[in-house]
Amino acid sequence: MTTRYTIALLVTILAGAIVGGCTSNAGVFNPQAERVGLSPSGSTVYKQIELLSRPAVKEVFELFEDHNKTNRAEPYADPVLQAQIESFTLMFRSKKNAETLQAILYPNVLKADLSQDVTTASYLGYETGGATGSKWGGRALDDDVVDISLGAIFGNTLSALGLIPDDKKEAPCLSEDNVAYDKSNTKTFPYIQAPL
Amino acid sequence: MKLLRPIVTMAVVFLLAFSVSLYSVRAARGSDHQDSPTVVANPLADITDVFAFPDPHDASKVALVMDVRPLIPSGMYAGIALDPSLLYQFKIANTGVTSGSFTENTVIQFTADSTGTAQNITLYGPGKPNEVGTSNTLIGKTGTFTFGKVASLKGGIKVFVGPRRDPFFFDLAQFFKVIPDRNYMNHPHVPPATATSFRFASKNQKIVLNGVSYGTAGSNKCVIAKPKDFLAPYDVLSIVIEMPKKLLAPASGSPGVVGLWATTATSGKSE
C-alpha cells in the first residue's frame, strides 16, 4: 500500500509539475481581452502588443515594468522611453552624455540609408556617418550591437566621435561584454545559420 | 514489493530529472528577448531581434529579418511555427526621416493560416498601410508560401519563415547581475545588483576603447571569469524577406533614408 501510495503521489506531483510548468503565466496574455474586432469594412483589426526596433535600447534603458505599455506604442510616440534614456544615463554619466544619447536613440527606429550603393550594413552607421563601419546603417547579422551600445553608454564612444567632450566617467568593466560572434551565417538567402 | 522498489526508484529519478529540466527551461527565461508579461505568456508574439542589411551580392536589394519565439533549445524546434492569430509586421518610414518625421508609410505584413509547421504563410505588401498607428488591417496580398521553405514571389521578392539559430550574442546572465530589473523573473521583488562588471577572461586582458587604453581588467577590478554567450544554444523563428530597394522608396522618388521597426499584433482570436 505504501509503495502504491508513493507511486500515486509521484504521479500526482509529476502531473502538477507539468501543468504548473505549462501554465505558469496563464492569465497574463488574454487574446479575448486584446480583441479589437472588425473594421467598418469588415476587415480583421489587429492590435499591437509587441514592438522592437534598435536592439538593446528598450532593454537597457527602460524599466521592465514599462515595457508592456510602451510595446503598444509607436516608436516615435514613446515619451517613457525618451525620458528613461536620459534618466538611466544620468546615473552614470554627464548631462551632456545623457542628452546626446537621447538625441541619437529617440525616436527608437532602425535607420538605414538605402541610397548607399554598398553591400554591407553597420549598426548606427547612418547616425555616425559610417564610424561603425558603413554609412548604409541598418544592422548586419554579425554586428556587435551589445559592445556598440555599451561603448556609447559606459565607454568613450561619444567623445571619440567628437560629439561631446569626455566626461571622464567611463566604466571600463561595463564597456564591453567580451562575447565574440561565432555563428555561421551564410552569404545566401535566408542568410541566418540553420537551426541547431 | 521487491519488483516495485526499482520502479519507485526510477520514478523518483525521473521526477527529479524532470523537475530539474523544468527549472532549467524556466530559469533560462529572462533575456531581453522576453521583455513584457504579454510576450512571455505568448512567445510566438515575442520579437527577439530586427535586422536590415543589403544583399551581400547585390546592392540593389535589401533584406529584413524579424526573429520571434526566443529560447528554443537546441534540437527542439520541431512543431514550432507562427501563431495564426497574430499579424507580424515591418513598418517603414521612407519620407521625412532626415527631417525628423517617422510616421510609417510602408508596411510589410505576414499571417499564417493555421498552427503547426504545415502552415501556409501569406505576405501582404510592401505597400501603403490602411491605418497609421497601433491598430492595423491587412493590405493587398502579394503571395502565399510554405513554412520552412525559401520562396520567390512576384516583384523580385524572396521570403522565408522557419527555425534558425539565434544570431544574437550577449553575456546576458552577467547583464542581469548588473541590472536585475531587466530580468522578468526577478519581478515583482527585484533583488539588488550583485555585479558591477561584465566578465573578463583574464586579469591581464587589456581594455582599449576607441584606441584609448584604460588599463587591464585586473587594474580596474573587473570580474575575472569566462564570458558566455547566453544565446549560443538556442534557436528562434526567423521571418526573412529580401526585395529590390525600390519597393521601399517613396511613392515618387528613389530609395533614401528609412526608419524601420517590427511589431506583432493580435486579432484577439484564440492562440
Complex confidence, ipTM: 0.86
State whether B8 and A21 contact (CB < 8 Å): no
Q: Collect all residues of chain A within an 8 Å Cβ-Cβ radius of residue B269.
A: 31, 35
Q: Is residue B162 part of a domain?
A: yes
B7, A6 Cβ separation under 8 angstroms:
no
Q: Is residue B16 part of a domain?
A: no
> In this structure, are B126 and B53 located in the same domain?
yes
Q: Is residue B54 part of a domain?
A: yes
> In this structure, are B214 and B241 located in the same domain?
no
Burial of A131 (0-12, 13-18, 19+ CB in 10 A): middle
Q: Is residue B242 part of a domain?
A: yes
Q: Is residue B10 part of a domain?
A: no
Q: Collect all residues of chain A within an 8 Å Cβ-Cβ radius of residue B271.
A: 29, 31
Return d(Cα A179, Cα A102) in angstroms, integer. Answer: 26
State whether A139 and B258 contact (CB < 8 Å): no
Q: Is residue B75 part of a domain?
A: yes
> In this structure, are B116 and B247 located in the same domain?
yes
> In this structure, are B128 and B48 located in the same domain?
yes
Domain that holds residue B250: 36-167+232-266
> In this structure, are B72 and B131 located in the same domain?
yes
> In this structure, are B102 and B188 located in the same domain?
no
Instruction: Give chain B's domain count.
Output: 2
What sign has the CA pseudo-torsion A169, A171, A172, A177? Answer: negative
The torsion angles phi and psi of B106, rounded to 5 degrees, stand at -140, 140
pTM of the model: 0.85
Q: Which residues contact A32 (CB under 8 A, 6 or more apart)?
A: B268
> In this structure, are B126 and B198 located in the same domain?
no
- Band of pLDDT at residue A36, cut at 50, 70 and 90: low
Q: Specify which residues B206 forms β-bridges with.
A: B216
Q: Is residue B5 part of a domain?
A: no
- B83 vs A: CB within 8 A: no
Residue-wise pLDDT for B167-214, tens only, equals 999 999 999 999 888 888 888 898 999 999 999 999 999 999 999 999
CA distances from A27 to A164, B99, B182 (A): 47, 43, 21
State whether A59 and B35 contact (CB < 8 Å): yes
What sign has the CA pseudo-torsion A91, A96, A98, A101? Answer: negative
> In this structure, are B72 and B195 located in the same domain?
no
> In this structure, are B73 and B202 located in the same domain?
no
Residue-wise pLDDT for A77-125, tens only, equals 999 999 999 999 999 999 999 999 999 999 999 999 999 999 999 999 9
> In this structure, are B143 and B238 located in the same domain?
yes
Q: Collect all residues of chain B within an 8 Å Cβ-Cβ radius of residue A39.
A: 130, 137
> In this structure, are B161 and B182 located in the same domain?
no
CB atoms < 10 A from the CB of B215, how many?
Answer: 12
- B45 vs A: CB within 8 A: yes
CB atoms < 10 A from the CB of B144, how many?
Answer: 14
The residue with greater pLDDT, A40 or A18, is A40
| Degrees to nearest 5, angle at CA A112 with A107 and A116 | 150
Q: Is residue B94 part of a domain?
A: yes
- Band of pLDDT at residue A59, cut at 50, 70 and 90: confident
pLDDT of residue A37: 66
**pLDDT over threshold 50, residue A61:** yes
Q: Specify which residues A113 forms β-bridges with.
A: B257
> In this structure, are B99 and B216 located in the same domain?
no
| Degrees to nearest 5, angle at CA A145 with A144 and A148 | 90
User: Grid coordinates 573587473 are at which residue?
Assistant: B222
Q: Which of A51, A119, A170 sits opposite B261 (nearest CB)?
A: A51
